């Protein structure tokens, strides 16, 4: 298992997104996974993650989320990926008013049934109040963990997707 400290990650870079009047710029970390699919990203800098919607089966089929910007306007991203999965309806995690994501654990591996070399095979979200997931399966996968240090939080995602979620990265807001 690989652990990446959000404040010390070599793949981190300050986001080019507008952060006027914000003391803490959003940091963009990643991506991890494969090169298949189409790149997906958000255009307005996130300040707070509100909900995450995941379709999954043997791997992650898609991810979508809602977030608020610095002006507290609600934005929707995705779903990025396909409409498959083991269940008819996706799983949705809705964060409480004082709840925020302190860690994300995920795995990257092959989807042999579809001859896909690398995709996101599972994901788990840990908040200051609860743990959600894991969603997906971790067989033959490399495991990653992103603990956000010093009371920071994961506030958004980006990645690559086709019929499945091929790669994922995260926006982190330091406190």
Blockwise average pLDDT, block size 10, the chain, 175 residues: 44 44 78 97 97 97 98 97 91 98 98 92 98 94 95 96 97 91
Which domains, from first to last, does the chain contain?
Answer: 2-17+24-173 (2.100.10.30)
β-pairing, 27-33 vs 116-127, is: unpaired
Q: Name every residue whose Cβ is closer than 8 Å to that of residue 65 and which is 6 or more positions away in sequence.
A: 49, 50, 51, 52, 53, 76, 77, 78, 156, 157
The structure tokens 């995920």 sit at 106
Distance CA 85, CA 60 (A): 8
What pTM does this model have?
Answer: 0.87
């Amino acid at each position: 298992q690989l652990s990446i400290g959000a404040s010390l990650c070599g793949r981190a870079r300050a986001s080019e997104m507008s952060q006027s009047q914000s003391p803490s710029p959003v940091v963009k970390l990643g991506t991890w996974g494969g090169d298949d699919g189409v790149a997906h990203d958000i255009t307005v800098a996130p300040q707070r993650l509100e909900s995450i919607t995941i379709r999954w089966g043997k791997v992650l089929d898609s991810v979508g989320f809602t977030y608020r910007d610095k002006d507290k306007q609600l934005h929707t991203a995705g779903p990025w990926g396909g409409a498959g999965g083991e269940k008819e309806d996706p799983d949705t995690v809705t964060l409480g008013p004082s709840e925020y994501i302190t860690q994300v654990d995920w795995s990257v591996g092959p989807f042999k049934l579809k001859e896909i070399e690398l995709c996101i095979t599972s994901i788990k979200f840990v908040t200051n109040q609860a743990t959600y997931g894991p969603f997906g399966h971790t067989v033959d996968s490399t495991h990653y963990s992103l603990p956000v240090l010093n009371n920071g939080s994961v506030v958004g995602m980006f990645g690559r997707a086709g019929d499945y979620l091929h790669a994922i990265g995260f926006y982190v807001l330091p406190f």
